[in-house]
Copies of this chain bind each other. A is one copy, B any other.
Amino acid sequence: MIARLVPGCSVAAKAEIIRHIEGQGLRVHVGDSGTSTVVSIIGNPSPRLADELQALSGVDSVTLEAPSYPLVSLDSQPGPSVVKVDSVSFGDTPVVVIAGPCSVESSEQLNTIARSVASSGAVMLRGGAFKPRTSPYSFQGLGVEGLELLHDAGSGNGLKVVSECVAPEDVAVMVEHVDMIQIGARNMQNFRLLSAVGEQPKPVLLKRGLMSTIDEFLLAAEYIMSSGNPRVVMCERGIRSFDTSTRSTLDISAVPVLKEMTHLPVIIDPSHAAGRRSLVPSLAAAGVAAGADGLIVEVHNQPDQALSDGAQSLTLDGFADSMKTIANVAGALGRSVALL
């Protein structure tokens, strides 16, 4: 059930409406722009509630049928959300670029990369410390030590940092060290983990699962939002198809499709989709042209010696070149690249 309030509804009237709903053991989400307000009711409201709300001062209309993801849906919000990672804004006019290595390997590696990507135009640094690896015998990441290195390289170079969290028991340590918590593709339906990152205060970068429909992706975001955290950024990173010419098939259509369904920002990851670096600049440009609010790109100073995903990492120079094209394409669409 969704209630749309009249324009200019007073704070007192709003409070009364929310009190009425919560008094029946239900929860609410309030989507607010300067001029209009949408109240989504979470839970199983009694059929009478619609009439009761309609009778309250300030309520314009009540819709019984809510989408299956009421908080994430475009219906619940009068316009696109801006998700802030401190000074960085996803969902605003400028396109946000996150760059960095697949895995945190050493302080030196990370600082070399951070310095370079910052000078090329990235505003956030990525780096994996807890790696979900297909084989139990592959490098599993540096763990907490990796998070510390990431945090230091970020703050030393003026970059906000994001890293992947793979289990609820790691959430607390992630919160301490990173500015944004990533949920990886393999964990997109790890519902306990989604709830756990929904109960902490840092913004979440949610990657689409390799096998996930758009609806499942939106419902995964709904898990996070319904657990209390409204700051979610959606990331398309390629799906699995019969085609083997790339590591995953970048579902570029997911960008405009998601924009029609949710108010949350949408970014793309051209690196994991491509699986090899030569394709990354084209896919990055295509992502921005399709309307993405940002990019997350793998960059390494010595890709051939990377402990993971070297083949798909851009070199420092390759990233710098790619950023020029990205800025041009963003400009062509009336956008820009977000600055530090």
Residues of A within 8 A of B (CB): 42-43, 68-69, 132-137, 166-169, 186-187, 189-192, 195, 209-211, 213-216, 219, 222-223, 226-227, 239-246, 249-257, 260, 273-274, 278-279, 282-283, 285-291, 325, 328-329, 331-333
Tell me if B213 and A211 are in contact (CB < 8 A). no
Task: Name which residue of chain B comes closest to A192, CB basis.
Answer: B167
Residue in B134, B166, B213 whose beta carbon sits within 8 Å of that of A242 in the complex: B213
Tell me if B255 and A134 are in contact (CB < 8 A). no
Residue in B135, B213, B333 whose beta carbon sits within 8 Å of that of A328 in the complex: B333
Can you report 6 A-B residue pairs in the complex whose CB atoms are below 8 A from each other? A68-B137, A134-B219, A136-B226, A166-B192, A252-B283, A286-B286
Q: Which residues of B contact A245 (CB under 8 A)?
A: 213-214, 253-254, 257
Task: Name which residue of chain B comes closest to A274, CB basis.
Answer: B253
* A186–B338 alpha-carbon span in the complex (Å): 36
Tell me if A256 and B282 are in contact (CB < 8 A). yes
Q: How far is the CB of A291 from chain B (nearest CB, A)?
A: 5
Task: Name which residue of chain B comes closest to A132, CB basis.
Answer: B191
Tell me if A255 and B242 are in contact (CB < 8 A). no
